[in-house]
Structure 1
Amino acid sequence: MNRNYARLVVPIFVVAIVLLLVVPVPAALLDVLFVVNIIGALVILLIAMYATKPLDFSVFPSLLLVATLLRLGLNVASTRLVLRDGYAGAIIETFGHIVVGGSMIIGAVIFCILVVIQFVVITKGAERVAEVGARFTLDAMPGKQMAIDADLNAGLITDEQARARRSEVAAEADFYGAMDGGSKFVKGDAIAGIIIIFINLIGGFAMGMLQRGMSAADALQTYSLLTIGDGLVSQIPALLMAVATGLIVTRSTADTDMGTAAGAQLTQSRSALMIAGGAAIALAIIPGMPKLPFVLIGGVLLLTAQRIKAREDAATRESARAEAVTQGAPRDETEDLIDAMRVHALEIMLAPDLVDLVSGSADDLLGRVRALRRKIAMELGVVIPPVRTRDSLELPAATYVVRIAGVEVGRGHAPAGKVLALGEDLGSLPGTPIVEPVFGLAGKWIPVELQHAAELAGATVIDRVSVLVTHLSALVTAHADRLLTREDVRVLVESVRTVSPSAVDELVPGVLSLAQVQQVLQGLLVEQAPINDLTRILEALTLRARASTDPEQLVEAARAAVAPALVARHTDGGLLRVVTIDPSLEQAMLEGLRPGEDGSQILLDPVQIDAALTSIGTEMAALEATGTEAVLVCAPQLRPAVRRLVAARTPKAAVLSYGEVTSASVAIETVGVVRGAATLTAGG
C-alpha cells in the first residue's frame, strides 16, 4: 500500500466508527462491518501467534483500542436497527438461529457460557498477566541498562548497538505499560457487551409489546433471537482479541514464532512422550473406556518418541564423525613440546569445566575477545596480539587465569550454570559473597534460574563470558605497555609512513631508533595514554629529540602533543575537576627534584612524602565515594616524579601537568588541595 494512503486509512476508519454512534446505517452495510470486525480480529490473533517477540507487534495496544471502539460502535448501530426495525441484517439473524437451535433455553445457556469464558477466564487472566508483566519489566529496567553499560565498557558491543539495546529496553517498558492499560479496554468491552445484551433484550421486549402489538411470547422469541445473535457477533471478535492479548503478554522473547517454538519444545523430551503414550494405552484397558481414542493418541505419542530417538542417534553419529575429522593425525611429540614451551604474548588458561565458554558461536569467548581487540585498538591505538585459549588440568574447578608473556597477571572464577549478580542487597539470593575483580563490587554467583529474581531485587546480572572479558579488558589495558612489541611499533610506524612520510623520515632512524620510539610509546601506555594519534606523537618526538633523547623528556613531549585527548578522558560535560598541590609543598618538591637513572626523583623527608601521599589517597577516596572523578595536577617538571610516587599508593589516580590541562578548552574546577600533612581541604 502506498505510504501516503496508509497514513490516511486509520484516521478515516476511526472517524467512520465515531459516525456509527450517531448515524443510522442500513442492515446490508452493517453486515459488511460485522465481517470486517470478525476477520480483522482473526487476522490480529494470527499475527500475535506468529510474532517472535512482543515488540514485533508493538502497535497491538493501539489496535486493541480501535477494535474495541469498532465493536462498541457496531453494538450501538445494531441496537438501533433491532429496536427500530426488528431486523439487523443477515449475520445477526443467522447467528441467532444457529445458537438458539429452536430452544431459547439452549441459546441463553450457550451465550452465558461464552460470556463466562471470555470475561472470567481469558480477559481476567490477560489483564493480570499484563499488569504483572508491566511491573516486572519496569523493575528490571535499571538492571538491564546497567548490563548494557557494562557490555559497552567491556567492548562487547559498539555505541550503535548500545543505543539500539537501550531503545529496545525503553520500547519494551512502554509496550508493557501500554498493554497494562490496553487490557482494561478488553475487560471494559466484555462488561459493556453483557450490559448491552440485557438492554437489547428488555428494550426489544418492550418495543414488541407496546409499539408493535406483539404478544409476550412472540416478542420474547423475536427479540431474544436478535439479541443473542447480536451478542454473538460482537462477542466472537471480542473473544479473539482477548486471546490475542493473552498471547502477546505471555510471549517471552524467542527466535521463532509460537507454532515452531511450541513444536520444538513439546518434542524435546523423548521420555515424557513415551510415558504419556504408555499411560494413554494403559487407560484404554480400563473397562468401559473408549478404546480407539486412547490407543490412537498413545500410538502417535510413542511413534513421535521413536522418531526423536532416531534423530538424536543421527546427531550423535554426525558429531563423532566431525570430531574424528578435526582431530586428524597426531602430531610429532617434538612439535608438541616446542609448542608447549613457547611463551605466548597473551593467553587465557581455562579449567576443564570452563571449556564450554569456547563454543564456536559468534557470542562465545573467542567472539567477545575479537570485539575486545577492536575496542582497545580504537581507544589506545595498540593492536593486542591474538589471545591463545587453552584448558589446563592444573587449575581448580571454575577457575581461569590470564597470562602475559607466560606470567600470570590475574585470575578469577566463572562457575558453570551460574551468572554473577552485583548489588548491595543480595542477602536473599543463594551463593557465597565475592568481590568482583575489576571494579571491586560486592556480588554473588547465583544459578541461571534465579537471574530474573536477582534483576527484580535490583541487582545487575552479568553472564560468565562478560565477566571474563571485562576482567581481561582491565588486565590488557593495565599491561598494554608489555604487549607492545618492537614488531608492533614497526607496523604502526609503517602505517604512518603511508599517510605522512615526512613525519617518519625525519625521525626514524636518523634521530631516534625504533627501540627508542618503542620505549616512548610504552611510557605513554603505562599511564594508559592513547597512541592512536601516532603522526602527532612522531612530530613532537622529532622536535624534542634534537635537543635531548632522555626517555622521560621524550615521553613528556609526546604527552604534550596529545594533551587534549588526555584531558578529554577525564572531563564530564566539558568540566575537568582537579586536585592541586599546596604551593609551599609543590615548591619544596621542585627544590628536591633530582635526575636519576630511572627518571627524575623527589628527595624530601620521608615523613613529608608519606603525609603528602596519604593526603592524595584520602582526597581521591573521598571524591570516588561521591562518584566524582578528578585528576591530580602539578608543575610540568614534577609530573613524572609525582606520578611514580602516586602509582605506588593510588594506582588509579591520573596525574596531569598544568600545561596539559590548559591545552584543552575545558572548564576547570578545583575540588581539593594536597597538603604536607595528613589533612585534606576539599573545595580548594
Structure 2
Amino acid sequence: MIATPLQRVLAMPAAMVLPAGIFALLALMVLPIPALLLDIFFVLNIAISIAVLMVALNARKPLDFSSFPSVLLFATLLRLALNVASTRIVLMSGHEGGAAAGEVIESFGAFLVGGNFAVGLFVFAILMIINMIVITKGAGRVSEVSARFVLDALPGKQMAIDADIAAGLVTADEARERRREVTVEADFYGSMDGASKFVKGDAIAALLILGVNIFAGFALGMISHGLSASEAGEVYVTLAVGDALVAQVPSLLLSIAAAAIVTRVSDTRDLAGQIGGQFADPRGWLPVALILGAIGLVPDMPQMIFFPGAAIATAIWWQLKRRAAAPPPPPAPAAEPAADHIALADVSDQTLVTVELGYGLVGLVDEAQGAPLITRITGIRKQLSRDLGFVLPQFRIRDSLDLAAQDYTVLLGGVSIARGNVRPGKLLAIDAGEVRPGPYAELGLTGEATRDPSFDCPALWIAPSARDHAVAEGFLVVDPATVIATHANQALLTEAHQLLGPDEVREWVDGLKARAPALVEAVTPDPLTLPALTRILRVLVADGIALAHPQPLFTSLALALQKTTDFDAVVDIVRADLGARLIARIAAPGEPLKVATLDAGLESAILGGMVDPATGQPLIEPECGGMIVREVNRLADAEKAAIALIVQPPARRALAALLKQRSPRCLVLSIAELPPTQPIAVIGVIGEPNPPETPALAAPDATEPA
C-alpha cells in the first residue's frame, strides 16, 4: 500500500514537522507551483490565522500562549511566501484570465470588490491603515511598555520569592516554579516587543508587493502580451488587488490576536468570559436604553432603528437585574463515596483542643437543656485568650465510647492533659479553706466525698437541694459543667505554650504592626524569622510571661537582639527585663516576695557537676533533686502561699525544669531577674548544714540603708 503525502506528514516525528515546514516555505518562494496548490495554501493561511486568533481569545493569561511570538513569525513567513508565489503566477499567467492565477485570488478580486479595481485599492488602503496605524502600532506600544515594566520588576519578584522561602511560606519546589514563571514572563514580553515588528513589516511588504504587481503587470501586459493599457489595467490590477486582499485579511487577524494577547490581564477566565462577566452588571444597561430612546425621539432620526435598540438594551437590563436578584443555585449534591473509600478527614483531627465526654455526660451539651458546657467552654476560651494575649483556636466537644459514662478528658494535640469524672444532676461543694474544721456530717451535709480535680481540694457531691446549706457553711458550690470547664482551664494554662503556633504569632504581630510598625521591623522578619520568633514566644509563655501587652515585650526583645542573637541569651535578657511581670504572679505590689535560696555549697555542687551535652545545662542528681523538691514543698506548705526560689543564672533552667511539675507553687528566678526595688523575705536556705530553728526574715526595702 502506497502512503499518501498527508499520511507521510502525519507519520513524521513531531521534531521533524517544523523544519520540514520551513523548508516547504522556502521552496514555495523559489519554485513555481500550480494554481490549485496555491489556492490550498491560501485557505490554509486563513485557517491558521483564525486558529491563532481563537487560541489568543481563549487563553486565560498571556503566558498560556507563550509560543505566540514564534507562531507569529512562521505565519508571517507563510504569508510572504504566498505573496511571492502568487506574484509569480499573476505576472506569468495573468494575461490568460483571472482563473489562471487561482480561484481564491479571482474571487477576492471579483466578488469582494465587485470587479472594480479602484474600489479594491481603496479597501486595501483602509485595511492597511487599520492594521498598521491602529492595531499594530497600539499593540507594539503595549508590548514595549509591558516588557519594560516586567524587566524592571524582575529583581523585586525574585527578592519576594527569596523572602517567602526564608519565612517558610513556600517550599523549594514552589519557589522554583515561581522563578520559572517570572523568567518565562520576562522572555515572553520581550519577545512580543520584537514580534509586533513582524506584523508591521509584513504590512509594508504587502504594500510594496502590490505596487510591484501593478507596475510589472502593466509593463508585461503591454510589452510581452500585446495588451492595451486599459486591458492590462483591468486584468493585472484586479488580480494584484485580489492577491493583496487575500494576504491582508490573515494579516489583520494576526494583528488582532497579537493585540488581544498583550492587552490581556491575568484572570481565571478566558477573554470572552472576562468581558462578559464585567458587562453583566445591570446598572450599565439602563442608561444605554434611555439614551437610545432619547436619540430616537429627535426629529428626522431613524426611529425604526433606535427604538428597537433601546428595547433590546432594556430587555438585557431586565434580565441581568432578575439574574442578580435571584438566589444562588443550590450546590450539587455530593456523590456518595464508595464503601471502601477512606478520606483524610476520617483519620485525622484538625482540632488542637478537644474535650471528650462519656455517654452519661452528653446532656451537658444538649441544646434542649441549655448546653451549659458549651457556654462554659466558650467562656474559658475567651478568658484564656485575654490572659495569654493571643486568640486560641476553636475547641471541640465530642462524646467518646472509650470513656466511662461519667468520665471526661481534655486532649491537647491528641494527648490527654486532664482527666476526671463528675456526677450529672448533682453539685460539687468544694472546701476551699473557709469551712469550719471537722467532719462534714456534723455540718448537716451528706454526699459522695471526692476531691476537686482543678485544685485538689476536698469536696462533696451533693444534691441540688442542699446548695444553700453548703454555701452558708462556707463551701464553694459549682455545677458539673463548671467543674469540667475549670479543670480544662487549669490544664490549658499549664500547657499554654503549646497553643501558640505560627498562625497565632502572625496574627499577634500584625495587630502590633498597626500600632508600632517600626518596633516590629526591628525584630521580624530580620533578624527573627516567623519560626524563630514563635520559638522564643513559646518559651516565654511557658515561663509565665503572657502576650497580653505586646509592646513592652517586643521592646525588650528588640533591645536583647541588639546585644546577641543566641536563643538562650535572648530569653534570659528578656526575662530579666520583665522580671516584675514574673514576680507579680505570686506577690502583690509592695508586698515582700517570699523567697528561698540554695546553700552556696549545694549550688556550687550543682553548677560544678555533670552537664547535659545536648543543652549544656547542669544535671541534678536524683537524690539531690528529691531533697530540693521536698524542702521547697515544705516551705510552701508552711507559708500556705506561692514562693520563689532565687538561684544563680546558670542553674535556673535546670531547677525550673525540676520543680515545674513537682512544685507548681514555686517560681524559680535567677538573681538577675529580681528587680532592685523588690522587697523580699527570705524564708529558708535549702541544703544548709545547720538550719536555724526560725527562718531569718529580711525586708530589703531598696530605700532602706544597708
Q: TM-score range by the shorter chain?
A: 0.5 to 0.7
Q: How does 1:221-260 map to 2 (within 5 A)?
A: 221-260=234-273
The match for 1:177 is: 190
The match for 1:298 is: 310
Normalised to the residue count of structure 2, the TM-score between the two structures is 0.53
Query: Does residue 657 of structure 2 align to residue 599 of structure 1?
Result: no
Preserved contact between residue 479 and residue 526 of structure 1 (Cα < 8 Å): no
Instruction: Note the C-alpha offset of 1:471.
Output: 8.1
Partners of 2:371 and 2:291 in 1: CA distance: 55
Partners of 1:150 and 1:235 in 2: CA distance: 50
Q: Which amino acid aligns with 1:271?
A: R
For structure 1, the residue ranges without an aligned partner over 5 or more in a row are: 320-327, 351-381, 391-399, 404-408, 415-432, 442-466, 487-521, 528-547, 561-594, 602-643, 646-684
Partners of 2:148 and 2:503 in 1: CA distance: 45
Partners of 2:76 and 2:319 in 1: CA distance: 46
Query: Does residue 209 of structure 2 align to residue 108 of structure 1?
Result: no
CA distances 1:13-32 after superposition (whole Å, capped 9, x unpaired): 01100111211111111111
Partners of 1:302 and 1:237 in 2: CA distance: 37
Partners of 2:380 and 2:291 in 1: CA distance: 62
Give 3-state SS (helix, strand or coil) of 2:33's partner: coil
Query: Does residue 212 of structure 2 align to residue 199 of structure 1?
Result: yes
Give 3-state SS (helix, strand or coil) of 1:271's partner: helix
1:337 corresponds to which of 379, 383, 391 = 379
1:313 corresponds to which of 325, 328, 347 = 325
Query: Does residue 153 of structure 2 align to residue 140 of structure 1?
Result: yes
Query: Does residue 217 of structure 2 align to residue 209 of structure 1?
Result: no
Instruction: Note the C-alpha offset of 1:240.
Output: 0.7
Preserved contact between residue 344 and residue 388 of structure 1 (Cα < 8 Å): no
Preserved contact between residue 402 and residue 472 of structure 1 (Cα < 8 Å): no
Preserved contact between residue 524 and residue 555 of structure 1 (Cα < 8 Å): no
Instruction: Note the C-alpha offset of 1:346.
Output: 7.4
Query: Does residue 614 of structure 2 align to residue 557 of structure 1?
Result: yes
Decide whether aligned partners of structure 1 residues 237 and 149 sit closer, same or farther in structure 2, where only a CA change above 3 A counts.
Answer: same
Partners of 1:435 and 1:482 in 2: CA distance: 22
Farther-moved stretch of structure 1 (86-95 vs 47-56): 86-95
Query: Does residue 48 of structure 2 align to residue 40 of structure 1?
Result: yes
Decide whether aligned partners of structure 1 residues 202 and 473 sit closer, same or farther in structure 2, where only a CA change above 3 A counts.
Answer: same
Give 3-state SS (helix, strand or coil) of 1:437's partner: helix
Instruction: Note the C-alpha offset of 1:331.
Output: 6.8
Q: Which amino acid aligns with 1:289?
A: M
The match for 2:295 is: 283
The match for 2:233 is: 220
Preserved contact between residue 498 and residue 538 of structure 2 (Cα < 8 Å): no
Preserved contact between residue 385 and residue 391 of structure 2 (Cα < 8 Å): no
Give 3-state SS (helix, strand or coil) of 1:282's partner: helix
Partners of 2:196 and 2:535 in 1: CA distance: 51
CA distances 1:586-614 after superposition (whole Å, capped 9, x unpaired): xxxxxxxxx9622189xxxxxxxxxxxxx
Preserved contact between residue 523 and residue 555 of structure 1 (Cα < 8 Å): no
Preserved contact between residue 438 and residue 471 of structure 1 (Cα < 8 Å): no
Decide whether aligned partners of structure 1 residues 232 and 336 sit closer, same or farther in structure 2, where only a CA change above 3 A counts.
Answer: same
Instruction: Note the C-alpha offset of 1:334.
Output: 4.7
Instruction: Note the C-alpha offset of 1:309.
Output: 3.0
CA distances 1:282-313 after superposition (whole Å, capped 9, x unpaired): 22211222223323332333333333333333
Partners of 1:160 and 1:346 in 2: CA distance: 37
Decide whether aligned partners of structure 1 residues 388 and 224 sit closer, same or farther in structure 2, where only a CA change above 3 A counts.
Answer: closer
Partners of 1:71 and 1:82 in 2: CA distance: 16
CA distances 1:614-634 after superposition (whole Å, capped 9, x unpaired): xxxxxxxxxxxxxxxxxxxxx
Give 3-state SS (helix, strand or coil) of 2:158's partner: helix
Query: Does residue 71 of structure 2 align to residue 63 of structure 1?
Result: yes
Preserved contact between residue 99 and residue 110 of structure 1 (Cα < 8 Å): no
Instruction: Note the C-alpha offset of 1:121.
Output: 1.0
Decide whether aligned partners of structure 1 residues 75 and 388 sit closer, same or farther in structure 2, where only a CA change above 3 A counts.
Answer: closer
Q: Which has the higher contact order (CA 8 A, sep 6+)?
A: 1
Partners of 2:301 and 2:27 in 1: CA distance: 57
Decide whether aligned partners of structure 1 residues 436 and 312 sit closer, same or farther in structure 2, where only a CA change above 3 A counts.
Answer: farther
Decide whether aligned partners of structure 1 residues 74 and 137 sit closer, same or farther in structure 2, where only a CA change above 3 A counts.
Answer: same
Partners of 1:76 and 1:347 in 2: CA distance: 79
Q: How does 1:60-139 map to 2 (within 5 A)?
A: 60-86=68-94, 87-139=100-152
The match for 1:660 is: none
Instruction: Note the C-alpha offset of 1:115.
Output: 1.3
Partners of 1:25 and 1:484 in 2: CA distance: 87
Instruction: Note the C-alpha offset of 1:473.
Output: 5.1
Decide whether aligned partners of structure 1 residues 475 and 388 sit closer, same or farther in structure 2, where only a CA change above 3 A counts.
Answer: closer
The match for 1:155 is: 168
Alignment: residue pair count: 418
Partners of 1:287 and 1:436 in 2: CA distance: 71
User: Which of the two has higher C-alpha Rg?
Assistant: 2
Preserved contact between residue 53 and residue 251 of structure 1 (Cα < 8 Å): yes
Instruction: Note the C-alpha offset of 1:411.
Output: 0.8
Partners of 2:608 and 2:203 in 1: CA distance: 82
Preserved contact between residue 384 and residue 483 of structure 1 (Cα < 8 Å): no
Partners of 1:344 and 1:556 in 2: CA distance: 39
The match for 1:437 is: 520
Give 3-state SS (helix, strand or coil) of 1:21's partner: helix
Q: Which amino acid aligns with 2:202?
A: D
Q: Which amino acid aligns with 1:8?
A: M
Give 3-state SS (helix, strand or coil) of 2:269's partner: coil
Partners of 2:607 and 2:320 in 1: CA distance: 73
Give identity over the alignment, percent: 39
Query: Does residue 460 of structure 2 align to residue 402 of structure 1?
Result: no
Decide whether aligned partners of structure 1 residues 271 and 157 sit closer, same or farther in structure 2, where only a CA change above 3 A counts.
Answer: same
Partners of 2:220 and 2:10 in 1: CA distance: 48
For structure 2, the residue ranges without an aligned partner over 5 or more in a row are: 1-8, 95-99, 332-366, 393-496, 545-566, 573-604, 618-645, 653-671, 674-706
Partners of 1:550 and 1:241 in 2: CA distance: 82
CA distances 1:239-270 after superposition (whole Å, capped 9, x unpaired): 111111101111111101000111001113x3
The match for 2:6 is: none
Q: Which amino acid aligns with 2:103?
A: A
Decide whether aligned partners of structure 1 residues 317 and 102 sit closer, same or farther in structure 2, where only a CA change above 3 A counts.
Answer: closer
Preserved contact between residue 214 and residue 236 of structure 2 (Cα < 8 Å): yes
Partners of 2:319 and 2:51 in 1: CA distance: 34
CA distances 1:353-386 after superposition (whole Å, capped 9, x unpaired): xxxxxxxxxxxxxxxxxxxxxxxxxxxxx98646
Partners of 2:195 and 2:101 in 1: CA distance: 30
Q: Which amino acid aligns with 1:26?
A: P
2:513 corresponds to which of 412, 424, 443 = 412
Preserved contact between residue 136 and residue 255 of structure 2 (Cα < 8 Å): yes
Preserved contact between residue 100 and residue 225 of structure 1 (Cα < 8 Å): no
Q: How does 1:377-396 map to 2 (within 5 A)?
A: 385=500
Farther-moved stretch of structure 1 (177-186 vs 551-560): 551-560
Partners of 2:329 and 2:116 in 1: CA distance: 64
Q: Which amino acid aligns with 1:55?
A: L
Preserved contact between residue 206 and residue 244 of structure 2 (Cα < 8 Å): yes
Normalised to the residue count of structure 1, the TM-score between the two structures is 0.54
